Structure 1
Amino acid sequence: MNKQRTLSHKLAVIPQYLQHLNGRLKGEVKALCQLSALLDIMNNERLDTFFQPILQLRTGRTLGHEVLNRPPASMHFPTTEHFYEFAGRTEQMYRFEQNCRRMSLTRYMERLPRTEAGSGRLVFVNVHPGVLDDARHKSGETLALLQSLGLSPERIVFELTERQAVQDYIGFEKVLSYYREQGFRIAVDDAGSGYNSLKTLVYLKPEFIKLDKSLIRGIHGSREQQELLELVREYAARSATRVIAEGIETAEELLFLQRAGIDFGQGYALGRPAQLPVQGALPPGSIQAAGRGGYSYVSSDR
């Protein structure tokens, strides 16, 4: 009787086991198709490159541009975020980042209008933190590329996204010091989007803090977001760091940030990503509005 019961139990779980195997097989096939698509995009340089201006909010002067590389529309990657998330999990990440960096800087110089050639504006390049201290990295590789393009390292800002968390902060700070000695600058991207924000800022001491668009969206009507902004602004003032607010889309958001004393901004209200690195512009009347003094907290709409 016990043997029969045991056999019956084993037979009962067979459908569940087959379903499990089928799910794993589908997942592996999907990952294989995504990897094939990634390699195709990488090998054939099928990323589209755009440049979004970053402006000084007080004057409207263009500080520089962030380079944005977007994959072609694909069933394998529904969004750009899905694409980069997958690339970051593969063994191709180092090679992919190398290709992106070379392509970003080369296309920047190829598309830079002649009138802007001597402007000295900064170029913000997104970098996966794990790539900078990868054992495969060859010293002087990026410097050689810059020299061939006629760019100085002082114009390059490496953007490190907070979503790709750093584990060994002390060791990574030493890696960043090596790049700083060569003239490069560091920006922490997506600040305010995760719990690691303050630790990242304290240990890495970036030259720029880029505030995530989730913190900026509707900030003129949210006391909670305003208080967090003030904390970051005070820290930046004490540590000689400049703040860049990302995702500015409305005149109300812009006006609040100007009155709050935020240094720089980026977003559709100032300039959309374009195939040429052209200057952005503040909306009419916003420069005059920036000088009207301080701001007061408001009640949250939420």
Structure 2
Amino acid sequence: MDYLSDDSKSNDILKVIANVARRSLGTDVSFVGMFKDGNRLIKAVSKNLSSDSAISENDSAESNNTYCYNITNGSLPNFIEDTNSNEITKNLSVTKDLNIGSYIGLPITSSTGHVYGTLCCFNNRPLSISKNYDHKVLESLAHTAGLLLDLSKETQNTISSNRIRIESALINNAINILFQPIYDVEKDKVVGYECLSRFDNPSEIPTYEWFKQARECKLDTELELAAFLKAISFLNLFPSDQYLSINLSPNSIYNKQSMAIITGFDLSRIVIEITEHERVKSYDAFKLALLDLRKKGAKIAIDDAGAGYASLKHILEIDADKIKLDISLIRDIDSDKKRRALARALIAFANEIGTEVLAEGVETKDEMMTLVGMGVSYVQGYYIGRPVKFESIFK
């Protein structure tokens, strides 16, 4: 009987449940009481305006001195119409402290019978309570709360498991870098490589899931920095006329600790691709953060252009050096006039502001020839070359 959810979304839903309980039962107060470390913590309080109870969220008390605990262990009934007529409740300090005159409460349990806490309603004075109706309403709401907390606990366990796996990858430097060529059509040569992270991965978790889970675990900047450092360690192994393109999210670019490390390198042969995992809240602040990268010689590219709202905002707000057309826009562009129309618009925009356009995800000759005919000079994709380990590039 010792679990407390700290998930903010779950707590918001518990507040809704408490409010529905109070309004349905017509009581002065309702709340959810949760057990943790031998204490009862009050959560999700709902009070009507006339109640003079001093109850408030996050109030804590020793469990055995509360109604919640005594109801769940069977010492008290679920319904107490007059707290002064019960030998236990009239001697509990909480009766006077919270001005409890009549009380109804049911345990909140998991699907396996674990007790999370209680869903409780009380009035500030003794009142007759209709046991049949109240019991059904409160039982249904308590059951819903139990299901919610089961889901919250499962989510927290998953995040904990993911955190352990990601931290292990960071500690063991278990990030591998593959390199996909970027081809200059006019010069007929490879001018750079995008660095793509892969992980020692017995569970075959996709790379994008690693970074998504890292964001959920608040480890995204650490994982991105580790990937950046691994990628840039290869830079001097490439010819001096080739560059490396490395992904960074706005979160990492805002992070002062990460930027202090990244800007310690000469970035004149580095392109930073801005991913769109998080929307930029302030482009003025973001552009200031990008200045440190530009001062070290880095070029800025907008990744996934045409794939979503965020990338289009990036194009409008950031003075990017390169715009990368997303694979979803490139697929079958040779036979899809809608994709061609949108691509032409982005290419025209880029030409107007003097920005290079790179098409990623090019998989067929027809796709490439269509793009070249539209004025695209740089392409990347399986038609040009698949991502490979460094050792395979210069064989």
TM-score by length of 1: 0.81
Q: Which residue of structure 2 lines up, in the alignment, with residue 81 of structure 1?
A: 208
- For these two proteins, the number of residue pairs brought into alignment is 266
Q: Which residue of structure 1 lines up, in the alignment, with residue 230 of structure 2?
A: 103
Higher-Rg member (1/2): 2
Q: Deviations over 1:136-168 (max 9, x none)?
A: 3464x3343x3xxxxx42101111013432221
**For the Cα contact (< 8 Å) 1:52–1:66, is it kept in 2?**
yes
* Structure 1 residue 207 corresponds to structure 2 residue 321: yes
Choose from 87, 90, 96 the match for 2:217. 90
**For the Cα contact (< 8 Å) 1:51–1:275, is it kept in 2?**
yes
Q: Judging changes above 3 Å, is the alpha-carbon distance between structure 1 residues 196 and 91 closer, same or farther for their aligned structure 2 residues? A: closer
Instruction: Tell me which moved more, 92-101 or 61-70.
Output: 92-101
Choose from 184, 193, 203 the match for 1:65. 193
Choose from 4, 7, 32 the match for 2:160. 32
Q: Judging changes above 3 Å, is the alpha-carbon distance between structure 1 residues 21 and 163 closer, same or farther for their aligned structure 2 residues? A: closer
Identity of aligned residues (%): 26
Name the amino acid aligned to 2:322: F
Instruction: Tell me which moved more, 211-220 or 99-108.
Output: 99-108
Unpaired runs of 5+ residues, structure 2, are: 1-128
User: Per-residue deviation at 1:84?
Assistant: 1.2
Q: Which residue of structure 2 lines up, in the alignment, with residue 128 of structure 1?
A: 249
Name the amino acid aligned to 1:186: I
1:113-192 to 2 correspondences below 5 Å = 116-117=238-239, 119-137=240-258, 139=260, 141-144=261-264, 146=265, 152-192=266-306
User: Per-residue deviation at 1:74?
Assistant: 4.5
Pick 1 or 2: higher relative contact order, CA cutoff 8 A, min separation 6. 1
Unpaired runs of 5+ residues, structure 1, are: 147-151, 281-302
Counterpart Cα distance in 1 of 2:337 and 2:349: 19
User: Per-residue deviation at 1:257?
Assistant: 0.9
Q: Judging changes above 3 Å, is the alpha-carbon distance between structure 1 residues 245 and 279 closer, same or farther for their aligned structure 2 residues? A: farther
**For the Cα contact (< 8 Å) 2:211–2:223, is it kept in 1?**
no
* Structure 1 residue 252 corresponds to structure 2 residue 366: yes
- What secondary structure sits across from 1:232 in the alignment? helix
Q: Deviations over 1:3-29 (max 9, x none)?
A: 332123223444333222222111111
- What secondary structure sits across from 2:343 in the alignment? helix
Name the amino acid aligned to 2:349: Y
Counterpart Cα distance in 1 of 2:354 and 2:337: 25
Q: Judging changes above 3 Å, is the alpha-carbon distance between structure 1 residues 138 and 264 closer, same or farther for their aligned structure 2 residues? A: closer
RMSD: 2.1
**For the Cα contact (< 8 Å) 1:162–1:197, is it kept in 2?**
yes
**For the Cα contact (< 8 Å) 1:108–1:277, is it kept in 2?**
no
TM-score by length of 2: 0.63
Which has more helix, going by share of residues? 1
Q: Deviations over 1:41-62 (max 9, x none)?
A: 1111112210011001233211
Which has more strand, going by share of residues? 2
